[in-house]
Structure 1
Amino acid sequence: MHHEDDYTRRLKRLDCCAVSDALDKLGLAGTVTGLPQRSGTQRIAGRAVTVKLIEAKAHAAAQAAQAANVTGGSVSTAPRHLGTTAIEFAGPGDVIVVEQHTGLDAGSWGGILSLGASLRGIEGVIADGPVRDIDEARQYGFPVFARALTAFTARNRVAEAGTNVPVSVGTVSVSPGDYVIADNSAVIFIAVQHIERVLTAAEHIAGKEAAMAKKLLNGVPIAQVMGADYEYMLANHG
């Protein structure tokens, strides 16, 4: 479990557009679109706790192979519901990130999980795949960003391959502990080794945008504000 650190607090004061512009300026990937906010209204930010899902039949085959390789011929395969390990591990300052790329129309997250995560103080969930029970998440005010919505259960369709393992969201690779920010514009992932310079660049851009807005309010023509000022702001200086 992570606790909210200074980087997370700084990230929460920004929005995804400023952070995306900072990534562009630095030549870094990390911005993912097409994952709209399905519940909750607030922007979220924190550290990634990852969950990788695979087809249930592939998971069952892997377990059977594992059992066959154990002396004595069996291992414990007590069922554990997907997402529960991540919830027990995570807390305030954490965002659960789920990969469900099987192509199956099956929930990668659900209502009881949303309640459990909300009670733990987890910031929210980002699911690259379908989620179910979205009305329950809305009732709890728990932020869920997801590729699609469904009513189909994960049972006998998808299963958890691992928690806190590398995953991918869109075309972005995500490692456990990476920084995450998500709002109605995008979901963005920032590797730990890049967080300081991304935040510095994004804070500079946000400051410039605030100054541009002030100029508009003071009567400066918008063509002037959105011309040289805006292009200079996004240029790769410094």
Structure 2
Amino acid sequence: MSGLADTLARLAAIDTCALSDALDKLGLAGQVTGLRRESGAGRVAGVAVTVKLGTGDPPPGPPTHLGCNAIEAADANTIIVVEQRTGVEAGCWGGLLTRGAIHAGVRAVVADGPVRDIDEARELGFAVFTNRLTCLTARARVVEKATNVPVEIGTVTVHPGDLIVADGSAVIVIRPEDADAVLTAAEGIVAREAAMIAEIARGTRMGAVLGGNYEHMLQKD
């Protein structure tokens, strides 16, 4: 397994709550809550290709439908991350884009902003994480300002190439240079929680299982 493939496989094996705890332990930010999994199933891990939407005129050059540049820049490791925080009720992702993304091998879309055609994404089993749904088109409402630039989702800035993990609890953003440290911390937390689960199964008193060791688990080493 290549380095990136191994990293993504290890991340996909860890739930976002454990990854969040690892970020806390290391004093790092990267937790995004409120972006619900509206379609697809399971946990996804991938590499961010970003899209920033806004109002007004699009950048100079040939007109391009929003999201197309991201799909064309994607590969089989990609999670597309979209910022649509204009306050305008307008879809930042839709059914045709979902079909194009599936064809390109995209793993998921994470959107801070309204998504439309969600039933189509559900029927196709494509993972979409978002905070809002809509029926309203982007046409004449919002435009793509740039692809593969820093974008804001929740309280976190996502840079192109950041590592993204998303499941039913949250979306986690990890800078590539922090991946090894986050994985080491998260896998240690998972191992300690597995030992606690075994204690619960043996009938150990809950106060003993969730005692001082658990309360101090996130202290920096």
- TM interval, shorter chain, is over 0.9
- 1:1-238 equivalences under 5 Å are 5-55=5-55, 57-59=56-58, 63=60, 77-237=61-221
Q: Which moved further from structure 2: 228-237 or 192-201?
A: 228-237
Q: Secondary structure at the match of 1:42?
A: coil
Equivalent position SS for 1:234: coil
The answer to whether the Cα contact below 8 Å between 1:41 and 1:141 also exists between their aligned partners in 2 is yes
* TM-score, length basis structure 1: 0.89
Is the partner of 1:233 in helix, strand or coil?
A: coil
Decide which moves more: 16-25 or 167-176. 167-176
Q: Which ranges of structure 1 fall in alignment gaps of 5 or more residues?
A: 64-76
Count of residue pairs the alignment pairs up: 219
CA shift at 1:58, angstroms? 3.9
The alignment-based identity, stated in percent, is: 54
> 1:4 Cα shift?
5.2
Structure 2 CA distance for aligned equivalents of residues 143 and 54 of structure 1:
24
Residue 85 of structure 1 contacts residue 163 of structure 1 at CA under 8 Å; is this kept in 2?
A: yes
Question: Which AA in structure 2 matches 1:157?
Answer: R
Q: Extract unaligned runs of 5+ from structure 2.
A: none
CA drift of 1:5 comes to 2.1
User: 1:30-69: CA deviations, max 9, x gaps?
Assistant: 00101000101121111100001111x243xx54xxxxxx
RMSD: 1.3
- Kindly report structure 1 stretches of 4+ aligned residues shifted beyond 4 Å: none
Distance in 2 between residues matched to 1:112 and 1:230, nearest whole Å: 47
| Distance in structure 1 (CA, Å) of the matches to 2:4 and 2:126 | 18
